[in-house]
């Protein structure tokens, strides 16, 4: 017999599950079946695949493993919609996800409805360990909501018609921010990582001490206008600013500007989910790689922060503040009234490699493959973006991508030694 407190917790979890699942469907609502099927590069997945994969996660790790008598919606789907879980067996190759013309978008949405119905029915009777997997699945789906948007943006960007997902609001001129100011950071021994109650991914802990040297962080992120000055000053043509791997990447790929930027009639434009528009010089620059971020910092006479410097500074800020995803509506970085905001707008590259904290241990079973096995060759980003669902972030949250990747809403906050 459940206590009243346990029933309230189950009801709250059911409400969050339903709201999260509904937002994913709303984000995909403007898409045609063809829009939801295409795959523009190996790093990006079709919208239809995101919708199905997140359903597979709940069906596999909660319904199949914790609800006696549950029968899979379609026994073929685990092969199609498993992402990288080796313990779950063979799966469809990631670069070929865009070849899945079937199941249709409507069939995938029907799959989602079936999983939703079964999980909501089972949730009141789930044991605590199974309920914890529902919480993990919700956070997993929130990650895929951001990926769904950034992947659609990339898919649409390679279409010469440059279609829009949503109509953007009319642009209102905004005054350029003043010169970057500096916030003196914490020096000495600080505690880093998640601790206490509340959800966190396994890679956010254990909490541990870190020694920080005297330093300062910029009070805001770098703007489009400042980045245009970097370009005009030959930033992409001057090897002295670049790491060796970065310079090789620039040369091999003909990189001249952030992803989605294009020079038209002597002015820079950018492509977004609301189509192609002139860049807003006051807005945070986005869609830049770690290599570009590091080169810009060198050009500016600064450096990128470590993830520990960033977390120590951000710990006193509200992670639910800033420009984040609240509903299915146009998303893009925008000038902020709070120049010192640490959350929202753009993920901020750090100079830190994605590595385990002291004492890290991956969870048992397939869900232990969620984060730990990717701790090789990737860089940490902090702070969330305009496409991150509000409520998803924490100061300890660690995002990670390879240094050349830039199709996410990635930007730059500078740091310097004192």
Query: Domain 4-157 is in which class?
Result: mainly alpha
Q: How far apart are CA 151 and CA 38, in angstroms?
A: 10
Report yes or no: 228 and 257 within 8 Å, Cβ to Cβ: no
Q: How far apart are CA 241 and CA 297, in angstroms?
A: 8
Bridge partners (DSSP) listed for residue 399: 381
Domain range summary for the chain, segments of one domain joined by +: 4-157, 182-417
Which residues in 225-234 are b (16+ Cβ under 10 Å) and which e? bbbbebbeee
Q: Do the strands 399-401 and 379-382 form a parallel or antiparallel pair, or are they unpaired?
A: antiparallel
Report yes or no: 258 and 285 within 8 Å, Cβ to Cβ: yes
Report yes or no: 14 and 41 within 8 Å, Cβ to Cβ: no
Instruction: For the chain, give the number of residues.
Output: 418
CA nearest neighbour of 124 among 210, 186, 66: 66
Bridge partners (DSSP) listed for residue 277: 270
CA nearest neighbour of 168 among 270, 33, 28, 84: 270
Percent helix, strand, coil in the chain, to 5, is 40, 15, 45
Helices (H), 237-342: 244-253, 290-299, 307-314
CA atoms within a 13 Å half-sphere pointing along the CA-CB vector of 193: 18
- pTM equals 0.96
Residue whose entry in the numeric block shows the structure tokens 């403007």? 30
Q: Chain centroid to CA 352: how far?
A: 17
- Spell out the per-residue pLDDT of the chain, length 418, in tens: 566 666 777 789 999 999 999 999 999 999 999 999 999 999 999 999 999 999 999 999 999 999 999 999 999 999 999 999 988 999 999 999 999 999 999 999 999 999 999 999 999 999 999 999 999 999 999 999 999 999 999 999 999 999 999 987 777 767 788 889 999 999 999 999 998 889 999 999 999 999 999 999 999 999 999 999 999 999 999 999 999 999 999 999 999 999 999 999 999 999 999 999 999 999 999 999 999 999 999 999 999 999 999 999 999 999 999 999 999 888 999 886 555 689 999 999 999 999 999 999 988 877 776 888 889 999 999 999 999 999 999 999 999 999 999 999 999 999 999 9
Which residues in 52-81 are b (16+ Cβ under 10 Å) and which e? bbbbbbbbbbbbeebbeeeeebeeebbebb
Q: Chain centroid to CA 211: how far?
A: 28
CA nearest neighbour of 341 among 317, 320, 316, 325: 317
- Looking at CATH, the fold of the domain delimited by 182-417 is given as 3.90.1580
């Amino acid at each position: 017999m459940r206590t009243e407190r346990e029933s309230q917790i189950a009801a709250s979890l059911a409400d969050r599950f339903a709201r999260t699942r509904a937002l994913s469907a709303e984000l995909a609502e403007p898409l045609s079946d063809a829009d939801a099927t295409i795959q523009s590069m190996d790093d990006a997945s079709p919208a239809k695949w995101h919708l199905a994969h997140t359903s597979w996660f709940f069906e596999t790790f909660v319904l199949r493993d914790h609800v006696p008598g549950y029968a899979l919606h379609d026994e073929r789907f685990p092969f199609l919609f498993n992402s990288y879980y080796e313990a779950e067996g063979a799966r469809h190759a990631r670069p070929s996800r865009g070849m899945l013309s079937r199941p249709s978008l409507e069939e995938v949405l029907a799959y989602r409805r079936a999983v939703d119905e079964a999980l909501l029915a089972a949730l009141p009777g789930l044991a605590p360990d199974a309920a914890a997997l529902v919480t993990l699945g919700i956070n997993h789906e929130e990650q895929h909501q951001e990926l769904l948007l950034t992947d659609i943006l990339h898919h649409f960007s390679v279409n010469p018609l440059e279609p829009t997902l949503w109509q953007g609001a009319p642009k209102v001129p905004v005054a350029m921010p003043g010169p970057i100011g500096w916030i003196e950071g914490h020096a000495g021994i600080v505690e880093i990582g998640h601790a206490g109650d509340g959800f966190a991914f396994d890679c956010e802990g254990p909490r541990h001490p870190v020694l920080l040297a005297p330093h300062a962080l910029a009070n805001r992120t770098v703007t489009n206008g400042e980045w245009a000055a970097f370009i005009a000053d030959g930033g992409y043509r001057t090897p002295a600013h670049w790491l060796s791997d970065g310079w090789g990447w620039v040369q091999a790929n003909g990189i001249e500007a952030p992803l989605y930027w294009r020079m038209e009639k002597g002015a820079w434009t950018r492509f977004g989910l609301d189509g192609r528009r002139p860049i807003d010089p006051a807005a945070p620059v986005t869609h830049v790689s770690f290599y570009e971020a590091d080169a810009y910092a060198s050009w500016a006479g600064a450096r990128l922060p470590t993830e520990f410097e960033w977390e120590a500074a951000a710990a006193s800020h509200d992670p639910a503040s800033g420009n984040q995803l609240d509903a299915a509506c146009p998303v893009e970085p925008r000038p902020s009234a709070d120049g010192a905001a640490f959350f929202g707008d753009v993920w901020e590259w750090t100079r830190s490699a994605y590595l385990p904290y002291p004492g890290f241990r991956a969870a048992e079973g397939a869900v232990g493959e969620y984060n730990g096995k990717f701790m090789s060759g990737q860089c940490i980003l902090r702070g969330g973006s305009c496409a991150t669902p509000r409520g998803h972030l924490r100061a300890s949250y660690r995002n990670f991508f390879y240094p050349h990747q830039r199709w996410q809403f990635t930007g730059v906050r500078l740091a310097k030694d004192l």
